Structure 1
Amino acid sequence: MKKNILFILLACLIVMPSCQRIKKQDVLLLYPNWAEGIAITNLAQIILEEKGYTVTIKRLELGPIYASLSRGDADVCMDTWLPNTHKDYWIKYGNKLEILGTMFDDGITGLVVPTYVDINSIEELNANKDKFNGKIYGIASGAGIYRTTEDAIKEYNLELTQISSSETSMITALKKAIAHKEWVVITGWKPHFMWAEYDLKPLKDPKNIYPKDEIKIIARKGFSTDKPELAKFFTNFSMDEKMLNELMSDVLKDNDPTIGARIFYDKHKELLQSWVVKKETAKQL
């Protein structure tokens, strides 16, 4: 009998740590490999962990992010562009998701060139296609801006091909071209650190192919009911362009994004911590 009791106690001791780990993970955040997504997600992790929460963050491509949230396999993504750029994903998964808040309310997308390039409209690209080597540098083919650019190529009958790559590769191509004063056109968006790092201009889009968007924070369906205090934090998490550019600039200072996010956090601690509410307060809201 004593052996049985001892066995049960040992089993409990073995099982309990893993159970505690599962219980302690308060929120799982997914984010795309984009500058603003990396910055705000790492910052959110720091803010919440300072308040005693356990936060896990995971980088995925956009499609798997929406799919994971819709299945309830993860909790939140802070970098979704709605209602236009990610429209296809929202049509497919939106009924299994909920919007917690607006992180940024002035998102724009489009084609971007250095200011020394003397054209000002998408309609002028064909006449100068050789100067651009027939290329538009874009990001991953699963991104909304990639699809919108394919639409722009059709609508404007552009004789240029979009090159799918990572955001990092696209920025590298931009940087290299600028260093040699070469003509280059990329897919761009605001907010993004590129606007602070380089002298750029958006090309006019007379056919309005590229829409304006808001960056929404979305969650699995039921998240705000299950965890109202965390939902309220994400509702409160909002930045203007100046603040967001400062955050991204800090994050760029080191290969480890947590270092830059911590620098930003230390500068704005009082404001950032005010976004976190107590459980009792959240239930009343």
Structure 2
Amino acid sequence: MTMKSKMQKVLNLTIAAAIIFAVASCAGKKQKKEVFIPYPNWSEGIAMTHLAKAYLDQKGYDVEIKPIEPGPIYASLSKGDADVFVDAWLPNTHGEYWERFGDKIDHIGTAFGGGTTGLVVPSYVPIDSIPQLNEHVEEFGGEIIGIGSGAGIHKNTLKAIEEYGLEYKQVTSSGTAMVAALEGAINSNDWIVITGWKPHFKWARYDIKYLKDPKGVYPADELQILARKGFTEDFPKLTEFFGNFKLEEAKLYELMDDVKNANDPIDGAKVFLENNKEMVEGWFPAAE
């Protein structure tokens, strides 16, 4: 082999290696754009997650979202199988999950600071506190209409039944079924008690009230944003975005209402995004 042919061979190998490196680098960059955000099937979780997807899709990210029960969400984050969770009710409602998985998860933001839970009745029901429920078991049918058993409010309601000696059973359903039961009762002027929380669109739609909780079974929370370990290094811009991801109560209700009124949640999130683009754009770091 001549010197010229040897040099040509070396040049060809160098070019081939450069092409392979470039392709691998592009693939790596593309992979770094993929983000998985699970969410619980609750109105605020659905709304905030779809808003994040609607905006980040526009920024060139490939965002996968999926409804999952809270416990598995925390487990997935702790194992690195999920990237971000925008609806973590801490430190109380999801406290059990945080105790189990928190040392393997990072806190990167707070979406909403006024999360509350409790037992809720229509405002026309003439009682004001949980202890009064036992005086009206017949009117309420001896039932508290709840949501999924994986929710922290389900566990706290079982505790409330025990702490207050309530002669009631908690009916496990879903957020959608709970709202349907509430609306049906209000339309008929019937008595109903449900497990409720803020933020939730039902507070904007119906005249309802919390029952006072003198024993403090239902503590207040923040809606925190969590991420898997390593996310902040892999996605510094997204870490800043989620750190800035904050909604006041009125804006959160606007978002939830847009999502609720749309045929598809992502379409409702896009409506909100169009009407609040400057606010959401401000969450994302400016180009360097």
Q: TM-score, normalised by structure 1?
A: 0.90
1:212 — aligned with what?
A: 220
Instruction: Give unpaired runs (5+ residues) of structure 2.
Output: 1-19
Q: Secondary structure at the match of 2:181?
A: helix
Shift in CA distance, 146/22, structure 1 to aligned 2, threshold 3 Å: farther
Q: Secondary structure at the match of 2:162?
A: helix
1:144 — aligned with what?
A: 152
Identical counterparts, % of pairs: 54
Q: Is 1:154 the equivalent of 2:144?
A: no
Tell me, in whole angstroms, the C-alpha distance in 1 between the residues paired with 2:218 and 2:138. Answer: 24
Q: Is 1:268 the equivalent of 2:268?
A: no
Asked if 2 retains the 8 angstrom alpha-carbon contact of 1:36 and 1:248, the reply is yes
Tell me, in whole angstroms, the C-alpha distance in 2 between the residues paired with 1:233 and 1:210. Answer: 31
Shift in CA distance, 88/279, structure 1 to aligned 2, threshold 3 Å: farther
1:190 — aligned with what?
A: 198
Tell me, in whole angstroms, the C-alpha distance in 2 between the residues paired with 1:142 and 1:52. Answer: 34
2:112 — aligned with what?
A: 104
1:3 — aligned with what?
A: none
Q: Secondary structure at the match of 1:68?
A: helix
2:45 — aligned with what?
A: 37
Tell me, in whole angstroms, the C-alpha distance in 1 between the residues paired with 2:263 and 2:118. Answer: 28
Measured after TM superposition, the shift of residue 79 of structure 1 is: 0.3
Tell me, in whole angstroms, the C-alpha distance in 2 between the residues paired with 1:23 and 1:258. Answer: 23
Asked if 2 retains the 8 angstrom alpha-carbon contact of 1:24 and 1:54, the reply is no
1:168 — aligned with what?
A: 176
Tell me, in whole angstroms, the C-alpha distance in 2 between the residues paired with 1:92 and 1:278. Answer: 37
Asked if 1 retains the 8 angstrom alpha-carbon contact of 2:38 and 2:82, the reply is yes
Asked if 1 retains the 8 angstrom alpha-carbon contact of 2:199 and 2:253, the reply is yes
2:67 — aligned with what?
A: 59
Measured after TM superposition, the shift of residue 226 of structure 1 is: 2.0
Asked if 1 retains the 8 angstrom alpha-carbon contact of 2:41 and 2:175, the reply is yes
Asked if 1 retains the 8 angstrom alpha-carbon contact of 2:46 and 2:265, the reply is yes
Q: Is 1:223 the equivalent of 2:231?
A: yes
Q: Secondary structure at the match of 2:278?
A: helix
Tell me, in whole angstroms, the C-alpha distance in 1 between the residues paired with 2:170 and 2:30. Answer: 43
Tell me, in whole angstroms, the C-alpha distance in 2 between the residues paired with 1:221 and 1:39. Answer: 25
Query: Among residues 240, 258, 278, which one is paired with 1:232 in the alignment?
Result: 240
Q: Secondary structure at the match of 1:70?
A: helix
Task: Give aligned pairs, total.
Answer: 267
Query: Among residues 48, 58, 61, which one is paired with 2:56 in the alignment?
Result: 48
Tell me, in whole angstroms, the C-alpha distance in 2 between the residues paired with 1:43 and 1:142. Answer: 24
Instruction: Determine which structure has more spread, i.e. the larger CA radius of gyration.
Output: 2
Pairs within 5 Å for 1:57-136 = 57-136=65-144
Which residue identity does 1:163 align to in structure 2?
Answer: V
- Measured against aligned partners, the alpha-carbon deviations of 1:61-97 in whole angstroms (never above 9, x if no partner) come to 1111111111100100100100000000000000110
Measured after TM superposition, the shift of residue 278 of structure 1 is: 4.8
Q: Is 1:241 the equivalent of 2:246?
A: no
Instruction: Give unpaired runs (5+ residues) of structure 1.
Output: 1-11, 281-285
Tell me, in whole angstroms, the C-alpha distance in 2 between the residues paired with 1:52 and 1:142. Answer: 34
Q: Secondary structure at the match of 1:208?
A: coil
Measured after TM superposition, the shift of residue 270 of structure 1 is: 1.2
Tell me, in whole angstroms, the C-alpha distance in 2 between the residues paired with 1:257 and 1:27. Answer: 19
Structure 1 range deviating more: 185-194 or 45-54: 45-54
Which residue identity does 1:251 align to in structure 2?
Answer: V
Shift in CA distance, 21/176, structure 1 to aligned 2, threshold 3 Å: farther
Measured after TM superposition, the shift of residue 25 of structure 1 is: 4.2
Tell me, in whole angstroms, the C-alpha distance in 2 between the residues paired with 1:56 and 1:21. Answer: 17
**What do you get for the CA RMSD once the two structures are aligned?**
1.9
Runs of 4+ in 1 over 2 A off after TM superposition: 19-22
Tell me, in whole angstroms, the C-alpha distance in 2 between the residues paired with 1:254 and 1:46. Answer: 14
Q: TM-score, normalised by structure 2?
A: 0.89
